[in-house]
Structure 1
């Protein structure tokens, strides 16, 4: 079973479309905060709130070298989400299998 506190933090972070887009972009490789913020047309302090939310959730890691802060995706944290989705998939597949049997097998009814 997934760690619910960690799972909640991941879902909260991914609830925002800007943060989902940042995670999608970081799937291609690390990028600077400046590079990541460019498509969103918001001030750097506003964008940094998104970076902090992603970092707090554990989805990204940041590293500062001089004046440049680089972000990288923490793929291990995505495993929390993947584990939960696998649990849900198993649960719903078994339910739909039972439903299918009850509809197609005359002995069940």
Structure 2
């Protein structure tokens, strides 16, 4: 008799399509575009925070910390993508991935605003 928890511990070995399982092509395209937008916004904010931190010299530590905090939120987003790929997060809950990504975009915008005040 198989244990009901073994599927949770072992994962789904036959799930080779990863994050795109049972999705329409339009949904796949939307997800890829959204992730690309998040990556672009984060990259711009991190580059600007490093440049601004270097410009201000000894007083630029706060600007560098803004970029580092943004990296922390990106790590949370990456963990969520990993959970979806492993099947630990049900496909009905993928809306939360978009919510966290939206929060990351908002933080990137606020970081850019704070950098140039």
| Higher helix fraction (1 or 2) | 2
Q: Normalising by structure 2, what TM-score?
A: 0.29
Structure number having the greater strand percentage: 1
More relative contact order, 1 or 2 (CA 8 Å, 6+ apart): 2
Q: What TM-score do you get using the length of structure 1 for normalisation?
A: 0.31
